[in-house]
Structure 1
Amino acid sequence: MDGISLILPIYNVENYIEKCLQSIVKSMKSISNIQVILVDDGSKDSSGEIAQKFAEEHSNFYYVQKENGGLSDARNYGLQYVIHNYVSFIDSDDYIDENYFSEIFAAMRNKPDMIIFDWLDVGDNNYFNTVKGMDNPNFLWTVQPSAWNKVYKKHLFDEVKFPKGKIYEDVGTIYKLINDVKTFFYIDKPLYMYRKNRGGSILTTISPKINNIYDVLEDTYIFYERKNALSEENLDGLCYQYIKLLMWSNMYRQLKYFKLKLFSFYTKMSFTRGLLYNRFPHWKSNYFLKNYPFYFIDRYGKNYVKRIDNLGKSFFSTLSTLALLIARNIRKK
């Protein structure tokens, strides 16, 4: 019988973990073949005690403790205790919808290698915003690189593990797993609640570690190269994610990191543009960019290809494009 093992890394989340655990119990209802693996990653507050007590009171909750090694290390550590054929992950300061398991078990009847679903960004003052799990539900390469809005066949992790010591650890894992995903199922509903403004998340981290995105993307490219798996489809998918992650989301983090030191920012974007051309010389004819441009039109406008190309092309073109994008997105808000 199909079942699911849920891995929950825990580190210094005493203010959030109770709600997370209660949401799991509430979602279980009468479903029995669920295992919850609580990985205490060396918490220094009462998180571990709360989790251990919960495991003592619920027979399908399993508590393990380890030395602190970070989120990736805790997830990898939990994989050794998985007993079911499907596995999922939850961050311990987030929580899940009451229909999480019922929706997932319904999807599991289709025997997919991966199940993907939407989530809610939870902001200040209980602000909620729905985020789609895929830019286009017909193409797996458009999936968002978050570990926790997916369920996986266990065998996908036989070779691929989360990279230790990196932020963007999900990017460095999800797009490798895609190589072995033959079938997937998309649930067009938000089943996960993500605390958007939590401290230490990628969204709030502005440090030299934001450059980890280059490392994990390059490592992913090399992964496909070594497997002789750089098919046209995979190249298009990799290129799509390089553009999304480096020429949009990370671009703004670089701007914040350099604290408006505009020449330093231009230098970084020039390097980024060079990397894009080096890996994907014909990126302008990318399949997703041409046929499903909605993500880019929404952010860059109709002249999205030209504006992407202008970032890092010259100091003037970089700044003029940046000013245009900032003004455009201020108007949208």
Structure 2
Amino acid sequence: MLISIIVPVFNGDKFIKTCLDSVYSESNSNFEYIIVNDGSTDDTGDILREFKDTHDNVYIITQKNQGLSVARNSGLKVAKGDWMYFVDSDDFLDSGFIEYIYSSIREIPNDIKLLSLPVAEINRGTKKILQNPIISTTITTEEFAKLLIQGKRQFGVWSFVFKKEFLDEIDLLFLPGKICEDQYFVPIALTNTSFIYCLSSNGNFFYNYSFNPKSITRSKRTNDKIKQQYEAEQTRNKIFYNNFSELSTIIRNNMLTVDFGALRGFYKLNNVIMVRKLKMKIRKENSIASLIFDYKLLIKYIFSQMPFMLKIFDR
């Protein structure tokens, strides 16, 4: 059995060595490491060549800059492993985590096609646990989708391990040219299988997500970024809504949250057309009953956002 670890990188000379050192296993030849250099213009290429020269089972793909989705797809197309694991180049794994994943995969039933991994966030040297079940267990993908919608699980593909045969069967690749690309990829994977294995860290092993305020989604907001994020989150919710009927109420409430989030973003950018369009959509699709169904949402947008709400509904 083989795990293909796919690491796309663009101008990552400040952190790629730390990432690769954390994922590389000296003692296990059942891994292959596919690093996709997506048109880097810094010293990333030199670091990757040196790493390849001193480590086994390392493969470098060098291509012109085409974005994260295309870089991940390039890795998928050449990967030979039974399982696919995506790692972002500015993140890192706890020591022994990759071996822990490997040993866990060997013990799970053959019909499992997805694993969810324990994740921690690293922000200014502080480690915060984002997801970690008490014990490793198998749950339905519908149960897992509920946790995702509630914000109790992560959408990033780096928090999953995917069976390659499964991805090939459903012909699943990343959509080029999109931000929030995981919001498309993960729901399609979840709705094409019935169960997911949720791996516990046993208190020791985590994927360490590095909080980056300069990331594409967190850097200066533009109309295009807000629009793309809105479209991705709405598409995600529609996929879940069409496949998990028991979650219809919670999904509708999340759709409302997404509408308000985009409304607030467009208002801050003074995009009058999109503000009016979203106001009409909210009024049309959500009665007073649906607005107050989730009282937490009502409180959030009336009290914590009171100045914003008063101004926006006067416009």
Partner residue, 1:34: 31
Query: Against the structure 1 CA distance between its residues 37 and 260, is the aligned structure 2 distance closer, same or farther, given a 3 Å change threshold?
Result: closer
Partner residue, 1:89: 86
Q: 1:323 aligns with which of 293, 306, 309?
A: 306
Contact persistence 2:34–2:58 (CA under 8 A) = yes
Cα distance in structure 2, aligned partners of 1:163 and 1:93:
21
**Secondary structure at 1:115's aligned position in 2?**
strand
Cα distance in structure 1, aligned partners of 2:100 and 2:197:
11
Unmatched runs of 5 consecutive residues or more in structure 1: 285-302, 312-317, 327-333
Q: 2:159 aligns with which of 133, 146, 149?
A: 149
**Secondary structure at 2:226's aligned position in 1?**
helix
Contact persistence 1:89–1:147 (CA under 8 A) = yes
Contact persistence 1:5–1:84 (CA under 8 A) = yes
Residue 193 (1) aligns with residue 208 (2)? yes
Partner residue, 2:232: 216
Deviations 1:55-87 (A, max 9, x none): 122121110111111001100111011111100
Contact persistence 1:161–1:173 (CA under 8 A) = yes
User: What is the letter of the counterpart of residue 162 of structure 1?
Assistant: F
Partner residue, 2:151: none
Cα distance in structure 1, aligned partners of 2:284 and 2:65:
34
Cα distance in structure 2, aligned partners of 1:97 and 1:254:
39
**Secondary structure at 2:200's aligned position in 1?**
strand
Partner residue, 2:95: 98
Partner residue, 1:207: 222
Partner residue, 1:172: 184
Contact persistence 1:6–1:35 (CA under 8 A) = yes
Deviations 1:204-229 (A, max 9, x none): 4522212213322454567689xxxx
Deviations 1:15-57 (A, max 9, x none): 11111111112xx242220011000100011112211221122
Residue 116 (1) aligns with residue 116 (2)? yes
User: What is the letter of the counterpart of residue 106 of structure 1?
Assistant: S
Query: Against the structure 1 CA distance between its residues 24 and 63, is the aligned structure 2 distance closer, same or farther, given a 3 Å change threshold?
Result: same
Q: 1:50 aligns with which of 40, 47, 50?
A: 47
**Secondary structure at 1:202's aligned position in 2?**
coil
Superposed, 1:249-264 pairs within 5 Å as 251=260, 255=264, 258-259=267-268
* Relative contact order, higher structure (CA 8 A, sep 6+): 2
Partner residue, 1:300: none
Query: Against the structure 1 CA distance between its residues 266 and 258, is the aligned structure 2 distance closer, same or farther, given a 3 Å change threshold?
Result: closer
Taking only the aligned residue pairs, the percentage that are identical comes to 22
User: What is the letter of the counterpart of residue 42 of structure 2?
Assistant: D
Partner residue, 2:2: 3
Deviation at 1:200, TM superposition (A): 2.2
**TM-score, length-normalised on structure 2?**
0.77
Cα distance in structure 1, aligned partners of 2:302 and 2:269:
11
**TM-score, length-normalised on structure 1?**
0.73
**Secondary structure at 1:215's aligned position in 2?**
helix
Contact persistence 2:35–2:59 (CA under 8 A) = yes
Query: Against the structure 1 CA distance between its residues 235 and 74, is the aligned structure 2 distance closer, same or farther, given a 3 Å change threshold?
Result: farther
Query: How many equivalent pairs are there?
Result: 287
Please give the root-mean-square deviation of Cα atoms over the aligned residues, in Å: 3.6
Deviations 1:100-124 (A, max 9, x none): 2122123212032111112111112
Deviations 1:251-291 (A, max 9, x none): 557535643869889646535636865xxx9x96xxxxxxx
Contact persistence 1:246–1:272 (CA under 8 A) = no
Residue 13 (1) aligns with residue 12 (2)? yes
Deviation at 1:239, TM superposition (A): 6.4
**Secondary structure at 1:80's aligned position in 2?**
helix
Contact persistence 1:10–1:48 (CA under 8 A) = no
